[in-house]
Amino acid sequence: MTVTAPKAPGRPGQPVEQRAMLGFLADLTVWRDGRRSELDELDRAAMAAPDAADLTHDMTLAMALWQAVATRADELERVWDSGRVGPAELRRLSGMVWGRLDANGAADGAAAALAVSLPEACRLSDALVGQLRRRLSLDPVSLDLEARLRSLRATVERVRDLVVELPSGPAKVQAATRLDRLDLRAGELVERARRGADVGGLIGPLEADAAVAERDLIVAAATRRDDAKDRATAESLRAELAHRAAALGSVVDECVAAVSPAPVLAVPRVEALGPVPADAAAVDAYLDRLAAVSRALDRVEQAYRAPLAELADLRGMLGAYHSKAASTGLDARPEVSGMYRLASDVLDAAPTDLDRARAAVAAFRTLLDPPTRGT
């Protein structure tokens, strides 16, 4: 966890206020201990870094700053003496806060950097540690940026995979151009980040563009799968309807030969629709036409099968009535046997006149009914 410089009490040349000095010393102690932990972490990371030699100067300066601040903090604590201070001590404390730090024993570069006040040294330490964290990829913001950059590169690679899957054509050329632009922008962004540039404001728009490109390609891939499925459905449905139409032709021939009057409906010709088109929009329209043909086939089939079914029912009814007449002895009566022969002849005729057949079967059934009283 990183720490930030505490707010210094008072102003240069003026005695510090006792309550403010107490808070500052507490905050300074927290800053000193936290900064030491940070420096230890940075030192370990710097020693393991490939460019460790390039980090030596900054690490030395950071350590010198911390040591100077820690030394001054100890001096302040001694003068503070747990709050047992008067006006003279408060003026001295102000001078120690706002005066220059002791640069004795520091290297030349560090000595120049230490020619600052205690608050300035703390802020300089904050900036230096922040820079080291970014260079060593230890800063939480930098870590987040690096994670976003990795995620961005992963998105671009997924876009690349989706472009490869595109079929040849203008859409693939357009998607490839879009990918090249994303790849170039991502590469430039990564390079700028590697050089230490602030790319926080640039990564967001590029992430959005890459996400939109990936989304568009995913939708396009799903649409292609749906289109392929629709084409396969159209091919299968067309073959099924052609088979139905051929079978229905036999039903029509049977009906025309068996009954009169037969329906007069044409069997739809599936071949008239032509082959299944390649264009997706045309496939949708083709499926609509196939559905219309299917409904037409249903109507034609129902129209031609209904008379055949009725003819079969009439024959079955005549047979059942004749069995009833035989079981009761009514079949021996001349009018019953004569009507049976007539109805049989009508039903056996080819084609059968359905109107006459209905009348003949109904008349035969009437002869089997018991006579009403008074007749």
For residue 141, pLDDT over 50 is answered with no
Give CA–CA dist 331/274, Å, rounded: 60
330: CB partners within 8 A, 6+ apart: 324, 336, 367, 368
- pLDDT of res. 228: 83
For residue 334, pLDDT over 80 is answered with yes
Q: Which of 189-193, 322-326, 333-337 has the lowest mean pLDDT?
A: 189-193
Helix, strand, coil percent content, the chain, rounded in steps of 5: 80, 0, 20
Q: Which of 54-63, 86-95, 175-184, 339-348 has the lowest mean pLDDT?
A: 54-63
The model's pLDDT over 16-59, given as tens digits with 9 standing for 90+, comes to: 999 999 999 999 999 999 999 999 988 888 888 777 788 888 88
- pLDDT of res. 115: 66
For residue 142, pLDDT over 60 is answered with no
The model's pLDDT over 76-110, given as tens digits with 9 standing for 90+, comes to: 999 999 999 999 999 999 999 988 886 555 554 45
For residue 111, pLDDT over 80 is answered with no
Give CA–CA dist 266/79, Å, rounded: 114
Tell me the three state secondary structure of residue 353: strand
For residue 1, pLDDT over 80 is answered with no
Span 188-207, average pLDDT: 80
Q: C-alpha angle with apex 53: 48 to 59, nearest 5 degrees?
A: 80
Q: 238, exposed or middle or buried, with CB in 10 Å at 0-12, 13-18, 19+?
A: buried
Give CA–CA dist 203/197, Å, rounded: 12
